[in-house]
């Protein structure tokens, strides 16, 4: 676990994390 800095680290990583996020349509296409 990352602790207090998790929000800052996550926010700074959002461009990177965008590739690790699934929107509703993608999620259902993968699972459906």
Partner 1 sequence: MGLGGEVGAPHEVLEAWRAYDIRASVEKLVPWPVHFCNDATAAGGAELAFGSGARLRKFLYIFIATLIGGGVVLNGSLYPGRAGYAGAFGSILVPNASGNRPFQSLIRCASLYILENMMRSEGKDPSVLWRSPDDWSEAGSTLGGWIGQATDSLSVAIVSAISVIDFDAIVIDGAFPKSIRSAIVEQTREKFGRMETLGVAPVILLKV
Q: Which residues bind partner 1 (CB under 8 A)?
A: 1-7, 9-11, 13-18, 20-24, 27, 30-31
CB 17 within 8 A of CB 24: no
CB of 28 to partner 1, least distance (A): 11
CB 17 within 8 A of CB 10: yes
CB of 2 to partner 1, least distance (A): 5
CB of 19 to partner 1, least distance (A): 9
CA distance 30 to 11: 26
């Amino acid at each position: 676990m990352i602790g207090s800095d998790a929000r800052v680290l996550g926010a700074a990583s959002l461009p990177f994390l965008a590739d690790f996020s699934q929107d509703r349509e993608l999620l259902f296409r993968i699972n459906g």
